[in-house]
Structure 1
Amino acid sequence: MKTTIKMAVGLVLATFILSACSQKQESAIKDRLKDPSQQEEVLTLMTEDHELGKKYITKMMDSDHDTGMMVDELVKAAANDTILAGKLSDMITRYPDLMLLTTHHFMPIIANDSLLSDTFCDHTLEHENLAKAMHEKMEYKKSLELNH
Protein backbone atom coordinates (compact mmCIF):
# COMPACT_ATOMS: atom_id res chain seq x y z
CA MET A 1 0.00 0.00 0.00
CA LYS A 2 2.83 2.40 0.89
CA THR A 3 4.50 1.62 -2.44
CA THR A 4 1.27 2.40 -4.32
CA ILE A 5 0.87 5.71 -2.47
CA LYS A 6 4.51 6.60 -3.14
CA MET A 7 4.09 5.78 -6.83
CA ALA A 8 0.87 7.84 -7.04
CA VAL A 9 2.48 10.81 -5.28
CA GLY A 10 5.55 10.45 -7.52
CA LEU A 11 3.37 10.35 -10.62
CA VAL A 12 1.43 13.44 -9.52
CA LEU A 13 4.68 15.30 -8.76
CA ALA A 14 6.17 14.28 -12.10
CA THR A 15 3.03 15.52 -13.86
CA PHE A 16 3.22 18.88 -12.07
CA ILE A 17 6.92 19.22 -12.83
CA LEU A 18 6.46 18.40 -16.52
CA SER A 19 3.50 20.77 -16.74
CA ALA A 20 5.46 23.56 -15.07
CA CYS A 21 8.46 22.91 -17.33
CA SER A 22 6.35 23.02 -20.49
CA GLN A 23 4.68 26.26 -19.37
CA LYS A 24 8.06 27.73 -18.46
CA GLN A 25 9.46 26.65 -21.84
CA GLU A 26 6.51 28.20 -23.69
CA SER A 27 6.90 31.51 -21.91
CA ALA A 28 10.66 31.34 -22.36
CA ILE A 29 10.22 31.03 -26.14
CA LYS A 30 7.84 34.01 -26.21
CA ASP A 31 10.24 36.01 -24.04
CA ARG A 32 13.22 35.08 -26.21
CA LEU A 33 11.39 36.12 -29.36
CA LYS A 34 11.03 39.65 -27.98
CA ASP A 35 14.76 40.02 -28.62
CA PRO A 36 15.34 41.18 -32.25
CA SER A 37 18.47 39.05 -32.59
CA GLN A 38 16.49 35.95 -31.55
CA GLN A 39 13.76 36.88 -34.06
CA GLU A 40 16.40 37.14 -36.77
CA GLU A 41 17.84 33.75 -35.80
CA VAL A 42 14.41 32.11 -36.01
CA LEU A 43 13.63 33.78 -39.35
CA THR A 44 16.99 32.73 -40.77
CA LEU A 45 16.37 29.16 -39.65
CA MET A 46 12.92 29.19 -41.27
CA THR A 47 14.25 30.50 -44.58
CA GLU A 48 17.19 28.10 -44.67
CA ASP A 49 15.21 25.00 -43.61
CA HIS A 50 13.01 24.20 -46.63
CA GLU A 51 10.64 21.88 -44.74
CA LEU A 52 10.18 24.32 -41.85
CA GLY A 53 9.56 27.15 -44.33
CA LYS A 54 6.91 25.08 -46.12
CA LYS A 55 5.21 24.32 -42.78
CA TYR A 56 5.15 28.02 -41.96
CA ILE A 57 3.67 28.92 -45.35
CA THR A 58 1.05 26.17 -45.01
CA LYS A 59 0.14 27.51 -41.57
CA MET A 60 -0.19 31.04 -42.97
CA MET A 61 -2.33 29.80 -45.88
CA ASP A 62 -4.91 28.58 -43.33
CA SER A 63 -5.59 32.19 -42.30
CA ASP A 64 -7.34 34.71 -44.56
CA HIS A 65 -5.56 37.56 -42.77
CA ASP A 66 -2.13 35.98 -43.20
CA THR A 67 -2.79 35.12 -46.84
CA GLY A 68 -3.81 38.72 -47.49
CA MET A 69 -0.62 39.96 -45.82
CA MET A 70 1.53 37.65 -47.95
CA VAL A 71 -0.15 38.73 -51.19
CA ASP A 72 0.07 42.44 -50.24
CA GLU A 73 3.77 42.21 -49.45
CA LEU A 74 4.50 40.13 -52.54
CA VAL A 75 2.73 42.57 -54.86
CA LYS A 76 4.37 45.61 -53.22
CA ALA A 77 7.79 44.00 -53.55
CA ALA A 78 7.14 42.93 -57.16
CA ALA A 79 6.15 46.50 -58.05
CA ASN A 80 9.69 47.60 -57.14
CA ASP A 81 11.69 44.54 -58.22
CA THR A 82 11.66 43.48 -61.87
CA ILE A 83 13.20 40.08 -61.08
CA LEU A 84 10.48 39.30 -58.52
CA ALA A 85 7.83 40.68 -60.89
CA GLY A 86 9.11 38.33 -63.58
CA LYS A 87 8.96 35.36 -61.21
CA LEU A 88 5.42 36.28 -60.18
CA SER A 89 4.41 36.66 -63.83
CA ASP A 90 5.96 33.27 -64.66
CA MET A 91 4.03 31.62 -61.82
CA ILE A 92 0.74 33.17 -62.94
CA THR A 93 1.45 32.08 -66.53
CA ARG A 94 2.24 28.53 -65.40
CA TYR A 95 -1.30 28.13 -64.02
CA PRO A 96 -3.89 28.89 -66.74
CA ASP A 97 -6.82 29.06 -64.29
CA LEU A 98 -4.95 31.64 -62.22
CA MET A 99 -4.09 33.55 -65.40
CA LEU A 100 -7.77 33.72 -66.40
CA LEU A 101 -8.82 34.74 -62.89
CA THR A 102 -6.16 37.45 -62.79
CA THR A 103 -7.11 38.72 -66.25
CA HIS A 104 -10.80 38.74 -65.29
CA HIS A 105 -10.10 40.93 -62.26
CA PHE A 106 -7.76 43.35 -64.05
CA MET A 107 -9.85 43.97 -67.18
CA PRO A 108 -12.30 46.39 -65.48
CA ILE A 109 -9.35 48.29 -63.99
CA ILE A 110 -7.69 48.53 -67.40
CA ALA A 111 -10.97 49.59 -69.03
CA ASN A 112 -11.43 52.45 -66.53
CA ASP A 113 -7.95 53.92 -66.95
CA SER A 114 -7.14 55.38 -70.36
CA LEU A 115 -3.37 55.13 -69.85
CA LEU A 116 -3.62 51.47 -68.84
CA SER A 117 -6.06 50.83 -71.66
CA ASP A 118 -3.70 52.38 -74.24
CA THR A 119 -0.74 50.48 -72.83
CA PHE A 120 -2.72 47.23 -72.84
CA CYS A 121 -3.79 47.75 -76.46
CA ASP A 122 -0.24 48.57 -77.53
CA HIS A 123 1.13 45.56 -75.71
CA THR A 124 -1.54 43.28 -77.19
CA LEU A 125 -0.83 44.50 -80.71
CA GLU A 126 2.85 43.64 -80.24
CA HIS A 127 1.83 39.97 -80.12
CA GLU A 128 0.60 39.17 -83.59
CA ASN A 129 -1.10 35.87 -82.72
CA LEU A 130 -3.02 37.44 -79.85
CA ALA A 131 -4.08 40.45 -81.91
CA LYS A 132 -5.18 38.14 -84.76
CA ALA A 133 -7.16 35.90 -82.40
CA MET A 134 -8.90 38.91 -80.86
CA HIS A 135 -9.72 40.31 -84.31
CA GLU A 136 -11.19 36.96 -85.42
CA LYS A 137 -13.27 36.75 -82.23
CA MET A 138 -14.67 40.27 -82.82
CA GLU A 139 -15.46 39.50 -86.46
CA TYR A 140 -17.20 36.26 -85.44
CA LYS A 141 -19.33 38.11 -82.88
CA LYS A 142 -20.23 40.75 -85.49
CA SER A 143 -21.37 38.01 -87.86
CA LEU A 144 -23.55 36.51 -85.14
CA GLU A 145 -25.14 39.90 -84.45
CA LEU A 146 -25.90 40.38 -88.16
CA ASN A 147 -27.65 37.01 -88.30
CA HIS A 148 -30.03 37.85 -85.46
Structure 2
Amino acid sequence: MKTKIKMAAGLILAIFILSACSQKQESTIKDQLKDQSQQEEVLAFIAENHELGQKFIAKMMDNDHATGMMVDELVNAAANDTILADKLSDMITRYPELMLLTTHHFMPVIANDSLLSDTFCDHTLEHENLEMTMHEKMEYRKSLEQNH
Protein backbone atom coordinates (compact mmCIF):
# COMPACT_ATOMS: atom_id res chain seq x y z
CA MET A 1 0.00 0.00 0.00
CA LYS A 2 2.80 2.40 0.95
CA THR A 3 4.62 1.50 -2.26
CA LYS A 4 1.59 2.60 -4.27
CA ILE A 5 1.54 5.95 -2.49
CA LYS A 6 5.28 6.40 -2.99
CA MET A 7 4.94 5.40 -6.63
CA ALA A 8 2.07 7.84 -7.23
CA ALA A 9 3.91 10.64 -5.44
CA GLY A 10 7.10 9.91 -7.34
CA LEU A 11 5.34 9.86 -10.68
CA ILE A 12 3.73 13.19 -9.98
CA LEU A 13 7.08 14.57 -8.84
CA ALA A 14 8.63 13.34 -12.07
CA ILE A 15 5.97 15.26 -13.96
CA PHE A 16 6.87 18.32 -11.89
CA ILE A 17 10.52 17.96 -12.79
CA LEU A 18 9.62 17.68 -16.44
CA SER A 19 7.59 20.88 -16.32
CA ALA A 20 10.45 22.73 -14.62
CA CYS A 21 12.86 21.95 -17.44
CA SER A 22 13.22 24.00 -20.57
CA GLN A 23 11.37 22.91 -23.70
CA LYS A 24 14.45 21.35 -25.28
CA GLN A 25 15.46 19.51 -22.09
CA GLU A 26 11.86 18.44 -21.48
CA SER A 27 11.79 16.48 -24.72
CA THR A 28 15.05 14.80 -23.83
CA ILE A 29 13.87 13.98 -20.33
CA LYS A 30 10.52 12.74 -21.63
CA ASP A 31 12.36 10.44 -24.02
CA GLN A 32 14.58 9.20 -21.21
CA LEU A 33 11.62 8.62 -18.91
CA LYS A 34 10.01 6.26 -21.39
CA ASP A 35 12.40 3.70 -19.95
CA GLN A 36 10.87 2.09 -16.81
CA SER A 37 14.24 1.86 -15.04
CA GLN A 38 14.84 5.59 -15.61
CA GLN A 39 11.40 6.36 -14.17
CA GLU A 40 12.18 4.31 -11.07
CA GLU A 41 15.53 6.02 -10.65
CA VAL A 42 14.00 9.50 -10.88
CA LEU A 43 11.14 8.59 -8.54
CA ALA A 44 13.51 7.10 -5.97
CA PHE A 45 15.73 10.18 -6.13
CA ILE A 46 12.80 12.54 -5.62
CA ALA A 47 11.35 10.44 -2.79
CA GLU A 48 14.69 10.42 -0.95
CA ASN A 49 15.51 14.10 -1.49
CA HIS A 50 13.78 16.22 1.17
CA GLU A 51 14.02 19.55 -0.68
CA LEU A 52 12.73 18.11 -3.96
CA GLY A 53 10.00 16.30 -2.07
CA GLN A 54 8.85 19.57 -0.49
CA LYS A 55 8.86 21.33 -3.85
CA PHE A 56 6.93 18.45 -5.35
CA ILE A 57 4.30 18.51 -2.62
CA ALA A 58 3.93 22.30 -2.99
CA LYS A 59 3.49 21.91 -6.74
CA MET A 60 0.90 19.17 -6.23
CA MET A 61 -1.01 21.32 -3.76
CA ASP A 62 -1.31 24.00 -6.46
CA ASN A 63 -2.90 21.54 -8.87
CA ASP A 64 -6.51 20.43 -8.38
CA HIS A 65 -6.01 17.13 -10.18
CA ALA A 66 -2.86 16.27 -8.22
CA THR A 67 -4.49 17.24 -4.91
CA GLY A 68 -7.45 14.99 -5.70
CA MET A 69 -5.09 12.13 -6.52
CA MET A 70 -3.25 12.59 -3.22
CA VAL A 71 -6.46 12.64 -1.21
CA ASP A 72 -7.82 9.57 -3.01
CA GLU A 73 -4.60 7.64 -2.41
CA LEU A 74 -4.44 8.71 1.22
CA VAL A 75 -8.07 7.77 1.95
CA ASN A 76 -7.77 4.43 0.15
CA ALA A 77 -4.57 3.63 2.01
CA ALA A 78 -6.03 4.71 5.37
CA ALA A 79 -9.06 2.49 4.79
CA ASN A 80 -6.72 -0.51 4.73
CA ASP A 81 -4.05 0.57 7.19
CA THR A 82 -5.01 1.31 10.80
CA ILE A 83 -1.69 3.04 11.57
CA LEU A 84 -2.17 5.43 8.66
CA ALA A 85 -5.83 5.90 9.61
CA ASP A 86 -4.77 6.86 13.15
CA LYS A 87 -2.23 9.34 11.79
CA LEU A 88 -4.85 10.87 9.50
CA SER A 89 -7.31 11.08 12.40
CA ASP A 90 -4.66 12.75 14.58
CA MET A 91 -3.97 15.34 11.88
CA ILE A 92 -7.67 16.12 11.48
CA THR A 93 -8.15 16.56 15.22
CA ARG A 94 -5.14 18.89 15.49
CA TYR A 95 -6.86 21.39 13.23
CA PRO A 96 -10.34 22.36 14.51
CA GLU A 97 -11.31 24.01 11.22
CA LEU A 98 -10.49 20.83 9.33
CA MET A 99 -12.42 18.77 11.89
CA LEU A 100 -15.51 20.96 11.42
CA LEU A 101 -15.19 20.85 7.64
CA THR A 102 -14.79 17.07 7.69
CA THR A 103 -17.73 16.63 10.03
CA HIS A 104 -19.89 18.95 7.90
CA HIS A 105 -19.20 16.86 4.79
CA PHE A 106 -19.61 13.47 6.45
CA MET A 107 -22.83 14.14 8.37
CA PRO A 108 -25.08 13.84 5.28
CA VAL A 109 -23.32 10.58 4.36
CA ILE A 110 -23.86 9.23 7.88
CA ALA A 111 -27.49 10.38 7.90
CA ASN A 112 -28.23 8.51 4.66
CA ASP A 113 -26.81 5.18 5.81
CA SER A 114 -28.53 3.44 8.73
CA LEU A 115 -25.46 1.32 9.55
CA LEU A 116 -23.24 4.40 9.65
CA SER A 117 -25.86 6.25 11.70
CA ASP A 118 -26.03 3.42 14.23
CA THR A 119 -22.25 3.21 14.42
CA PHE A 120 -21.94 6.97 14.80
CA CYS A 121 -24.50 6.99 17.61
CA ASP A 122 -22.73 4.11 19.35
CA HIS A 123 -19.39 5.89 19.15
CA THR A 124 -20.92 9.13 20.36
CA LEU A 125 -22.49 7.42 23.36
CA GLU A 126 -19.12 5.88 24.26
CA HIS A 127 -17.75 9.37 24.94
CA GLU A 128 -19.54 10.70 27.98
CA ASN A 129 -18.41 14.32 27.53
CA LEU A 130 -19.64 14.39 23.94
CA GLU A 131 -22.89 12.70 24.92
CA MET A 132 -23.52 15.22 27.70
CA THR A 133 -22.61 18.19 25.52
CA MET A 134 -25.01 17.05 22.80
CA HIS A 135 -27.74 16.45 25.36
CA GLU A 136 -27.29 19.91 26.88
CA LYS A 137 -27.35 21.51 23.41
CA MET A 138 -30.61 19.72 22.54
CA GLU A 139 -32.19 20.71 25.87
CA TYR A 140 -31.12 24.33 25.37
CA ARG A 141 -32.67 24.40 21.89
CA LYS A 142 -35.90 22.88 23.27
CA SER A 143 -36.06 25.61 25.91
CA LEU A 144 -35.57 28.29 23.23
CA GLU A 145 -38.39 26.82 21.15
CA GLN A 146 -40.71 26.74 24.16
CA ASN A 147 -40.02 30.40 24.92
CA HIS A 148 -40.93 31.55 21.43
TM-score range, shorter chain: 0.7 to 0.9
3-state SS in 1 of match to 2:34: coil
Q: Deviations over 1:67-90 (max 9, x none)?
A: 111111111111111111111111
| Structure 2 residue ranges without an equivalent (≥5) | 1-21
- Tell me how far 1:25 sits from its aligned partner: 3.6
Which amino acid in 1 is paired with 2:26?
E
Alignment of 1:1-148 (within 5 A): 25-148=25-148
**Identity %, equivalent residues:** 83
- Give the deviation of 1:62 after TM superposition: 1.1
Shift of 1:27: 2.3
**2:9 alignment counterpart:** none
Between the aligned partners of 1:70 and 1:130, the Cα distance in structure 2 is 32
CA drift of 1:24 comes to 5.3
CA–CA separation in structure 2 for the residues paired with 1:141 and 1:28: 67
Partner Cα separation in structure 2 for residue 71 and residue 91 of structure 1: 14
Which deviations, in whole Å up to 9, do the C-alpha atoms of 1:16-57 show, x marking residues without a partner? xxxxxx765432211111111111111111111111001001
**Counterpart amino acid of residue 79 in structure 2:** A
> Residues 60 and 23 of structure 1: is their aligned pair in 2 closer, same or farther, counting only changes over 3 Å?
closer
Q: Deviations over 1:119-144 (max 9, x none)?
A: 00000010010000000000100111
Q: How many residues align?
A: 127
Aligned AA (1:79): A
Q: Which has the larger radius of gyration?
A: 1
Higher relative contact order (CA 8 A, sep 6+): 2
> Secondary structure of 1:45's partner?
helix
Q: Which amino acid aligns with 1:103?
A: T
Residue by residue over 1:95-116, the C-alpha shift from the partner in whole angstroms, topping out at 9 and shown as x without a partner, is: 1100000000000110111100
TM-score, structure 2 normalization: 0.81
Superposition RMSD in Å: 1.3
Runs of 4+ in 1 over 4 A off after TM superposition: none
Write the distance in 1 (CA, Å) between the matches of 2:68 and 2:32: 27
- 1:34 counterpart SS class: coil
